[in-house]
Amino acid sequence: MRTTAFSIDTFYQQIGNGPIIVLLHGWGHSWETWNNLIPFLSSDFQLLIPDLPAFGQSKSPSNPQKWNSEKYVLWLDEFLKQTTNNKKIILVGHSLGGKIAALYSATYPSQIKKLFLISPSGIPDKLSFCKKIQKKVFSMIPHIAKQIMPQKLKNKLLERTGASADYLNASPSQKTILNNIIQENITQFLHKISAPTFLFWGILDQETPYKNHQIFLENIANAELIKFNTGHFPYVENEIEFKKELIKRI
């Protein structure tokens, strides 16, 4: 299905019937990242699963250089007004989607029944001096060399600089947006979240470090931590345990 929200041609899936769950994917992904949860949830809930602007089948903003997380929140607000009839929702977000979900819940608290944040971004990590040097070295590698460099080597280099390997495959618009939002810190907004909030986090997460859960717990009054022995994708890496913990709370 398609709609236009905040001037963005937006693709989304609407599946099932019942209370509404909105699923927001992370940076570099699309609605399909939730494939393993869709059959599990759609028997009892109506799922709304958009592709975020600039990802999947949704269009990119016309001015990505001015796009940031606040724009994603405004886009989400328009999208939900068109698709939910102003009903309260259960909001689930992973990584960048978690950051957007947290900001939306802080901005429009009356719209949220429950909030599920899976390895959310929004707490920037300062690179160590060593990593800054590594990042600088990688940035100096000629573009043509990066193109012919084996993918495993590129991934290893990016992992060591604290960057996502997905960045190499991103479109110019996606890279511009990432550069705009990567250092945003949402800590000051978290205290405005009033809905019951559940943090699902892998203790081995290297993308959004597990230690960041402390900031969310300290700033969200009604928050609970559920940890997994996984990396950045607990809903994929430990699907059975994730579903078990999710269904207890949803």
Nearest-CA neighbor of 80 among 27, 24, 41? 24
Could you tell me the pLDDT band of residue 138, with boundaries at 50, 70 and 90? very low
Could you tell me the pLDDT band of residue 149, with boundaries at 50, 70 and 90? low
Residues of 214-245 as b/e, b for ≥16 C-beta within 10 angstroms?
Answer: eebeebbeebeebebebbbbbbbebeeebbeb
Classify residue 173: in a domain, yes or no.
no
In this predicted structure, the answer to whether residue 133 has a pLDDT above a threshold of 70 is no
- Same domain? 117 vs 235: yes
Mean pLDDT on 18-29 = 96
- Same domain? 14 vs 53: yes
Classify residue 90: in a domain, yes or no.
yes
Task: Give the Cβ contact number of residue 96 at 10 Å.
Answer: 26
Beta bridge partners of 199: 117, 225
CATH number at residue 203: 3.40.50.1820
Q: Which helix (H) or strand (E) holds 55?
A: none
Q: What is the pLDDT of residues 35-75, one digit of tens each?
A: 999 999 999 999 999 999 999 999 999 999 999 999 999 99
In this predicted structure, the answer to whether residue 168 has a pLDDT above a threshold of 90 is no
Q: What is the pLDDT of residues 72-86, one digit of tens each?
A: 999 999 999 999 999
* Residue 235 tokens, joined: 């809903």
Place of tokens 């719209």: 111
- Say what angle helices 129-140 and 151-160 make with each other, to 10 degrees: 150
Sheet containing strand 8-15, strands side by side? 2-5, 8-15, 46-50, 20-24, 89-94, 112-118, 197-202, 223-228
- Same domain? 38 vs 151: no
Classify residue 177: in a domain, yes or no.
no
* Residue 66 tokens, joined: 């001015």
Domain that residue 145 falls in: 129-161
* Residue 213 tokens, joined: 């859960």
In this predicted structure, the answer to whether residue 158 has a pLDDT above a threshold of 50 is no
Could you tell me the pLDDT band of residue 151, with boundaries at 50, 70 and 90? low
Place of tokens 């009604």: 222
Classify residue 121: in a domain, yes or no.
yes
Number of domains in the chain: 2
Classify residue 169: in a domain, yes or no.
no
Mean pLDDT of the chain: 89
Query: Strand 8-15 and strand 2-5: pairing?
Result: antiparallel
d(CA 207, CA 88): 31
d(CA 50, CA 22): 8
d(CA 53, CA 1): 14
Residues of 141-178 as b/e, b for ≥16 C-beta within 10 angstroms?
Answer: eeeeeeeeeeeeebeebbeebbbbebbbebeebbebbb
CA dihedral 241, 214, 21, 109 (to 10 degrees): 160
Classify residue 20: in a domain, yes or no.
yes
- Say what angle helices 96-107 and 69-83 make with each other, to 10 degrees: 70
- Same domain? 36 vs 109: yes
Nearest-CA neighbor of 17 among 43, 35, 40? 43
pLDDT of residue 147: 58
Could you tell me the pLDDT band of residue 242, with boundaries at 50, 70 and 90? very high
